Structure 1
Amino acid sequence: MAQRLALVEKAKPYPLAVAGPADFRCGQAAPVDPQVVLDEPGHSLYCLDHDNRRALFTRTGVDPGGAPFYFQAQYAHATEVVTLSYDELFALSTPGEPGGVFLYSTGRCGSTLVATALAERGGLTGISEPDVLTQLVMLAPRLTGPQLRDLTRACVRVLARGHPVVIKPRSFAVELAGLLHEEFPQFASVFLYREPLSWARSTARAFAGYDPALNTDPAAVQDRLGRLIPLVGRWRRRMGRLLSPEEVMACQWVAQLERALALRHRGADLFTATYEDLLAGPGAVLGALFAHCGLPAPSGLDAILARDSQEGTSLSRSATTARAAGPGLDEAAFTRTVAALWVEALR
């Protein structure tokens, strides 16, 4: 039965951790109509609690769709939690089929800016990094095909609530792109990426020290990453040891490019652009992207392009510029691993 839980304490281990049921410690519970999560303002789908076969919704006083990172705004502004069983989640009545854009990326490639442009100039509701999709990637090995399909479909329908949306998941969710295309062929598909070495430099700086366990328990970190990026687990088994940071990043970049190629091979009409394209001609790229998504040519882009779309977060320009990139990126090692992984992919 659906329950409204009093929020006692927030317990997320670090800001960029994948959302999970342990993020909140809750107290007194009261039964509630499941439909409240759609009918009462302020509720949004936060995560799944698969061990207990239920979904967690947070109630906030701000719209997380207006934030650079949906999952962080949900957590920061949560005032209470509502839980629904999976059966109640599946039975929720949403107003029609969702539509819009799935915006996949490698991260560090202008995807937040593009999502902002689609929301503000394309008239779509922005949902930037809903972590329930990240969770589904991690849960996939524990689910049957039909279970994964049912949960994915239910989550997207509840996130969209019948509105035209731009859903920009974390980079890991490109693992679900094929399934999302099958279930929601009416969505336009976009993939943004960055040239590998430039991406690695930016990633090393942006995510240096993002998880404290990188220093205390690197094996556990790579175990988690292996669930989000299966190639990390496969390459680690192939090497028979912990991977270097350069090897992990190479696995991520190659795996996500491979998933985008696989989506195109499935017949999806996939629009692709690079960060370098966006820098060289943002107006032209965004005009072509909007046309691909069936949206009118955008106007008033200068204001969006001039501001930092991640301002106020740990990944803003000022925050990433101010911090060091850690012990230093071995660019030659990263490049060698990217080459080796592509050779394996082509065999």
Structure 2
Amino acid sequence: MDQKSENNHLEHMSTAMYKGRDYVIYLMSFLLYRFTRSIIVTFQKFTWAITGVENIRRDARRGLQFRQSAHVLDIFWKRKFLPHTIADPKDFIALHSCFKHPNYVLKPNVSLYCMTKTDAIFVETPEGTNIYKSQQHNSYLYEAQFTNAKKIVMMPLASFHKIASDVGNPKVPTIWISSTGRCGSTLLGQVFYRIPGMLLLSEPDAITNLGYLHKNLSLQQGEYEQLLASAVRLLCKPDDRYSMICVKARPNATALSEDIAHMFPQIRQIFMYRNSLKTVWSYLALLQTDPASQALKFIMDNKVISTILPFFRTGVYNYYVKVNAKEIEAIKPSKLSTVGIFTAAWAAGVSRCVEAREKGIPILPILYEDLMKNPLQSCIVLFNRLDIRKEYLSLAAEAFKVDYQKSSVLGQGLLTSDTRRAIPTECRVEADTILKKYSLPKLGERVEVPGLLRFE
């Protein structure tokens, strides 16, 4: 027995060492990528100045080279540290190819990837590759774009706004889904995806980028509003293949839904949420899926280590909560445990919807537990509210029979999190304190947002 126990111990140590080696190699390769990118970008400044590329780029930013203001670059190398990090131009090392008319981005295989203070970044995929279709198979838009991108197109904001103005507001019925995350919003997106002619844009990061730029005060209010309007127009650009559009935003960008409602009152908005305790448990389940996540949770929940390294807690808080959060001085991100951070993420999203409803904005709240009681009846009620043809009901209801996220890291714990396991008393008190500051009931208690959709 002792021999077997010793063998198991040695086996676990060996496995841990191999995984540790793999993570070190992964980290080193990412650092090599970033180092290589910095060298190439620096070198490009000189070569582009000599060849005249930089002159055209500078004139385009000034509005003097509109017809050549779409800068097309061939992707040489691409790398993200984590698959679900927010889209960024640094995801690519790209080399100059040519300049095109801004209408180039209206091609079906070119899509808006992310935003910066100075440029709109598009990605181009091979002809015939439908990155929207791939989202049926557990892929978010930013993932499909990154995986399939062969070129990037950089466009100064002046040209971006001009093209967006020419495109105009969405020409087809559009649905916008916001959520707290870990609440079945992907399932709801798939319900709409099954409607013939529906274009699903699952978590476009151009919207997420703008939320962070605005929250960090990198954009003035007027700049932010103009960029948000242009981003929505080009995300929803005309495409003969689609007669409806569904946009499912990242949970950390719920705050933008109110601005969307003011700019595009014709867009029908939904807010999806779930019981707070189950949501927090589902988020916690994510941190048990691999050694790196487990290590992150250990660091964040260890009072000594998190005091020495507070940026772990602050970084995770900023990712999940910052854009949606209220300015509550008593909540200090560096003092929150993982339970506290995920509770704050849930509370911030829900409070945003409550505030919008109180202002008279017709966002339609949907509670996951209510939606799942009778899927077909839920589809009937939902389709009636959204004026969707009833002939698609049977197709839409089929989505409830499939767990689209069962093989995904993000799917871990969505439907199977064990809420019977007690959250430590200290963490529960922390969660209840946060919820109280947001004027919400205690952890696990039912919350009915004003205007909650009834499926009876």
Question: TM-score w.r.t. structure 1 length?
Answer: 0.87
Match of 1:222 in 2: 314
Deviation track 1:177-211 (CA, whole Å, cap 9, x = no partner) reads 11110001001111110100111111111355569
* Residue of structure 1 equivalent to 2:6: none
C-alpha distance in structure 2 between counterparts of 1:15 and 1:237, whole Å = 33
1:97 aligns with 2:169: yes
Q: RCO greater where, 1 or 2, for CA within 8 Å and sep 6 or more?
A: 1
Establish whether residue 29 from structure 1 lines up as the match of residue 97 from structure 2.
yes
Distance 2:333 2:410 in 1: 33
Match of 2:145 in 1: 74
Amino acid at match of 2:161: F
Q: Is the 8 A contact 2:340 2:434 kept in 1?
A: no
2:282, 2:413 within 8 Å by CA — same for their partners in 1?
no
Partners of 1:65 and 1:340 in 2: CA distance: 41
Structure 2: 5+ residue stretches without partners: 1-68, 301-308, 441-456
Whole-Å separation in 2 of the counterparts to 1:221 and 1:80: 36
Answer whether contact 1:194 1:275 (CA < 8 A) is retained: yes
Distance 1:240 1:114 in 2: 31
Structure 1 equivalent of residue 79 of structure 2: 11
Q: Is the 8 A contact 2:310 2:334 kept in 1?
A: no
Q: Choose which of 335, 340, 353 in structure 2 pairs with 1:247.
A: 340
- Give the direction of change, closer, same or farther, for the CA distance of 1:252–1:333 in structure 2 (3 Å limit): farther
Query: Match for residue 200 of structure 2?
Result: 126
Name 2:268's counterpart in structure 1: 188
Shift of 1:27: 1.4
State whether structure 2 residue 269 is matched by structure 1 residue 206: no
Deviations 1:57-94, CA, capped at 9 Å, x for gaps: 11124322221411111001111111111111101155
- What letter corresponds to residue 110 of structure 2 in structure 1? H
Q: Which deviates more from structure 2 when the two are superposed, residues 227-236 or residues 114-123?
A: 227-236
What's the counterpart of residue 131 of structure 2? Answer: 64
**Number of positions where the alignment pairs a residue of Structure 1 with one of Structure 2:** 340
* Residue correspondence of structure 1 range 318-337 to structure 2 within 5 A: 330=423, 332-337=425-430
Q: Which amino acid aligns with 1:82?
A: V
Match of 1:145 among 221, 238, 262: 221
Cα deviations by residue, 1:288-309 (Å, 9 ceiling, x for unpaired) = 2222222123222343221222
* Structure showing the higher strand proportion among its residues: 1
CA contact (8 A) 1:118 1:166 kept: yes
From the superposition, tell whether residues 232 and 41 of structure 1 become closer, same or farther in structure 2 (CA, over 3 Å): closer
The letter of the residue matching 2:122 is: F
Q: Evaluate the alpha carbon distance shift between residue 70 and residue 311 of structure 1 in structure 2; reply closer, same or farther with a 3 A threshold.
A: farther
Q: 1:148 to 1:56 in 2, by over 3 A?
A: same
Match of 2:112 in 1: 45
Structure 2 match to 1:341? 434
Whichever of the two has the greater Rg, that structure is: 2
Change (3 A) 1:247 1:235: farther
Secondary structure at 2:254 match in 1: helix
Q: Residue type of the partner of 1:112?
A: T
Q: Secondary structure at the match of 2:255?
A: helix
Checking the alignment, whether the CA contact within 8 Å between 2:192 and 2:396 is kept in structure 1 is: no
Give 3-state SS (helix, strand or coil) of 1:185's partner: coil
SS at match of 2:227: helix
Q: Deviations over 1:81-121 (max 9, x none)?
A: 11111111101155442141111111111111111211222
Unaligned regions of 5+ residues in structure 1, if any?
Answer: none
CA distance change for structure 1 residues 311 and 31 in 2, over 3 Å: closer, same or farther?
Answer: farther
Match for residue 314 of structure 1?
409
**Distance of aligned partners of 1:207 and 1:87 in 2 relative to their CA distance in 1, 3 Å threshold:** farther
TM-score, normalization by structure 2? 0.68
CA separation in 2, counterparts of 1:80 and 1:271? 38
Relative to structure 2, which stretch is displaced further, 190-199 or 135-144? 135-144
Identify the range of structure 1 (14-23 vs 274-283) with the bigger mean alpha-carbon deviation.
274-283
- State the SS of the aligned residue for 1:64: coil
CA 1:104/1:239 → structure 2, altered by over 3 Å: closer, same or farther?
Answer: closer
Deviations 1:203-249 (A, max 9, x none): 11135556987759661562464366237695686448432111101
Contact 1:101–1:188 (Cα < 8 Å) also in 2: yes
The answer as to whether partners of 2:191 and 2:397 remain within 8 angstroms in 1 is no
Q: Could you tell me how far apart the structure 2 residues matched to 1:245 and 1:184 are?
A: 36
Which whole-Å CA distance do the structure 2 matches of 1:312 and 1:4 have between them?
35
Match of 2:237 in 1: 161
Shift of 1:331: 5.2
Given the superposition, is the C-alpha separation of residues 114 and 14 from structure 1 closer, same or farther in structure 2, using an over 3 Å criterion? Answer: same
Contact 1:16 1:210 in 2 (8 A): no
Match of 1:284 in 2: 377
SS of residue matched to 1:198: helix
Give the SS at the match of 1:315: helix
CA distance 1:319–1:268, change in 2 (3 Å): closer
Residue 372 of structure 2 aligns to a residue in which SS?
A: helix
Q: Contact 2:331–2:434 at 8 Å: present in 1 too?
A: no
Question: Aligned match of 2:399 in 291, 294, 304?
Answer: 304
- Cα deviation digits, residues 260-312 of structure 1 (max 9, x gap): 11111221222222111122122222222222222123222343221222365
Query: Is the CA contact (8 Å cut-off) linking 1:171 and 1:256 kept in structure 2?
Result: yes
Q: Flag the 1:30–1:220 CA change in 2: closer, same or farther, 3 A.
A: farther
What letter corresponds to residue 264 of structure 1 in structure 2?
R
Asked whether the 8 Å contact 2:371–2:378 carries over to 1, the reply is yes
